[in-house]
Structure 1
Amino acid sequence: MAQPSPAAAFRALHQGRASGDPLVLPGPWDAASARVFEDAGFPALATPSAGVSASLGYEDGSTPAEEMFAAVARIVRSVSIPVSADVEGGYGLAPKELVARLLETGAVGCNLEDSAEGVLKDPARHADWLAEVRAEAGDALFINARVDTYLRGVPELDAAIARARAYVAAGADGVYPFGAPPEHLPKIAAAVPVPVNMAVLPDAPGPRRLGELGAGRITFGPGLQIRATQAVRDIARQVREL
């Protein structure tokens, strides 16, 4: 019996999950952290652009595309489980080139944002662009469409749902309303037929509760890299005191 492709295996991880049991995807920022998460038993990983950028010495959003793709490729090569890559807004690449570059890294999925330089993109144009990415990728990539309305000062539930529906219609496999209030999550989840990604943020519910509210997938943004950096700071202080 033929084994499913890595992308198919990754897509299957999102399906049939019970309430309170979302797919939890840690965010590795380099090859070493990826191996730690794999050894801990997680079935797949999702890189955070901010965490990877920090590991490369860049501010979030300022990493050159070449370096981001190279970092993702190193992470993918270091583990035997599927890896999805946060590639921000696509770095201005045409859909054909973006998909080719992603597949070259070995990634099986991607996050794609609907804002650039702090400004929301036109939702219809972004949906058309996502449709082109979908057409180029076929089934080889799980496209997680990030909805940045809450992040960019548009906190209305209807605005988030409208964008999410447009992106699903364009072929997105999942939607990611970054920073959505937990009380909005049940209505967003009910409005779309795909998994809703929620990030575990400071002072927000944990994965199980987010799953009960409707999240099908949980990520952490740069949160795990930030915690690891704090641990290194603590170690550095202890070493200074030896």
Structure 2
Amino acid sequence: MNDPVAVFRALHHGRPADDPLVLPGPWDAASARVFEEAGFPALATPSAGVAAALGHADGQTPAAEMFAAVARITAAVSVPVSADIEAGYGLPPAELVERLLEAGAVGCNLEDSVDGTLLDPREQADRLAEVCAAADGRLFVNARVDTYLTALPEGTDVVEETLTRAGLYAAAGAECVYPITAPADDLPRLAAGVPVPLNANGTPDDPACARRLGELGAARITFGPLLQLRATDAVRDLAKRLLTA
């Protein structure tokens, strides 16, 4: 199997419960090479980490800069790379797909909130369907569900709202759903109700975390900007040592 998209897609399926797909998030070409050299079979860029590396606040990276950064990362490694492109920068689906493919990405995250406000789930499903149709199998679409990040009406069952959105997004063609920051206790219920692989948040502070999340139902583990933040902390510690040497 030499098609990078097919390779990436296959990595999400048929995995033992205690061996989910772990995708570290490179923020530049150098970090991508480190993760590939460590043996990871694929990578997934975090928009917040890339933004920080480019000198922007999270959510403030111009589209052209984000796609250029993704292109540098994909060119630096031989493993498949999926790209976090936030809510898609307002680009028409066909243009969004072409820019991802030009950047060398095999997949993408698309989130269902803008500026802290959840989008209408059916409108988001329609947009996802257009993206998937334009991609025609050339991209693996991971639909981020932001119900745990945004304020929901009082009395809303967040798991049920998440499942409703996830079901619509999967029916639209998304091949994975990502209820970002969903607590571990909710993962079994989410995994049982979602017809596609479930993406959960891991932590680099606990090496056994990925296995436990897999046993709770997650098929894919990502870290958001945490790895870039840990690298920044390491540089800060180094700087302090140099000043006091």
TM range (shorter): over 0.9
- Check the 8 A contact 2:162/2:179 in 1, yes or no: yes
* Secondary structure of 2:83's aligned partner: strand
CA distance in 2, matches of 1:222, 1:133: 25
CA distance in 2, matches of 1:180, 1:120: 16
Listed one character per residue, the Cα deviations across residues 94-139 of structure 1 (whole Å, up to 9, x for unaligned) are 0000000000000000000000011000000000000000000011
List gaps (5 residues or longer) in structure 2.
Answer: none
Whether 1:210 and 2:208 are equivalent positions in the alignment is no
Q: Match of 2:34?
A: 36
* Secondary structure of 1:102's aligned partner: helix
Q: Match of 2:108?
A: 110
Q: Match of 2:83?
A: 85
CA distance in 1, matches of 2:172, 2:143: 10
How far the C-alpha of 1:236 sits from its partner, in A, is 0.3
CA distance in 2, matches of 1:193, 1:8: 19
CA distance in 2, matches of 1:91, 1:67: 12
Whether 1:190 and 2:197 are equivalent positions in the alignment is no
Whether 1:199 and 2:201 are equivalent positions in the alignment is yes
CA distance in 2, matches of 1:35, 1:241: 31
Q: Match of 1:229?
A: 232
Task: Describe the shift of the 1:197–1:119 C-alpha distance in structure 2 as closer, same or farther (beyond 3 A).
Answer: same
Listed one character per residue, the Cα deviations across residues 166-216 of structure 1 (whole Å, up to 9, x for unaligned) are 000000000000011111111111112211001125899811110000000
How far the C-alpha of 1:5 sits from its partner, in A, is 1.2
CA distance in 2, matches of 1:203, 1:80: 27
Structure 1 consecutive aligned stretches of length 4 or more whose deviation exceeds 2 Å: 201-205
CA distance in 2, matches of 1:150, 1:201: 17
Listed one character per residue, the Cα deviations across residues 121-163 of structure 1 (whole Å, up to 9, x for unaligned) are 0000000000000000011100000000011123611000000
TM-score, scaled relative to structure 2: 0.95
CA distance in 2, matches of 1:153, 1:206: 27
- Check the 8 A contact 2:145/2:180 in 1, yes or no: yes
Alignment of structure 1 residues 1-242 onto 2, 5 Å: 3-154=1-152, 156-201=158-203, 206-242=209-245
CA distance in 1, matches of 2:149, 2:191: 18
* Secondary structure of 2:200's aligned partner: strand
CA distance in 2, matches of 1:21, 1:96: 35
How large is the Cα RMSD of the aligned pairs?
1.3
TM-score, scaled relative to structure 1: 0.97
List gaps (5 residues or longer) in structure 1.
Answer: none
> What is the number of residues matched between the two proteins?
240
Amino acid at match of 1:240: L
CA distance in 2, matches of 1:33, 1:202: 15
